[in-house]
A = this chain, B = another copy of it.
Amino acid sequence: MTKGEQTRRYIVRKSAPLFNQKGYEGTSLSDLMEATGLQKGGIYRHFSGKEELATEAFDYSWGKAVSGRLDGVAEVPDCVNRLKKMIENFVQLRAGLVPGGCPLMNTAVEADDGNAALRARAKKALQNWTVRLSKITTEGIKKQQIDHHIDPLKLSQLIIGSLEGALLISRLQNSDEPLRAIKQHLSEYLEQNVRTTIRSNR
A residues in contact (CB < 8 Å) with B: 21-23, 25-26, 99-101, 105-106, 108-110, 112-114, 119, 122-123, 126, 154, 157-158, 160-166, 168-169, 171-173, 177-178, 181-182, 185, 188-189, 193
In the bound complex, residues from chain B placing their C-beta under 8 Å from that of A113 are 21-22, 99-101
- Closest B residue to A27 by beta carbon equals B25
Oligomeric state, in copies: 2
Indicate which residue in B163, B168, B177 contacts A105 across the interface (CB closer than 8 Å): B168
- Closest B residue to A166 by beta carbon equals B161
Contact B171 A160 (CB under 8 A): no
Q: How far is the CA of A105 from the CA of B185 in the complex (A)?
A: 22
Q: How far is the CB of A90 from chain B (nearest CB, A)?
A: 12
26 pairs across A/B with beta carbons < 8 Å? A22-B113, A23-B114, A25-B26, A26-B26, A99-B113, A100-B113, A101-B113, A105-B109, A105-B168, A119-B172, A126-B169, A126-B173, A157-B169, A157-B181, A158-B178, A158-B181, A161-B162, A161-B166, A161-B168, A161-B182, A162-B162, A162-B165, A164-B164, A165-B165, A165-B168, A188-B193
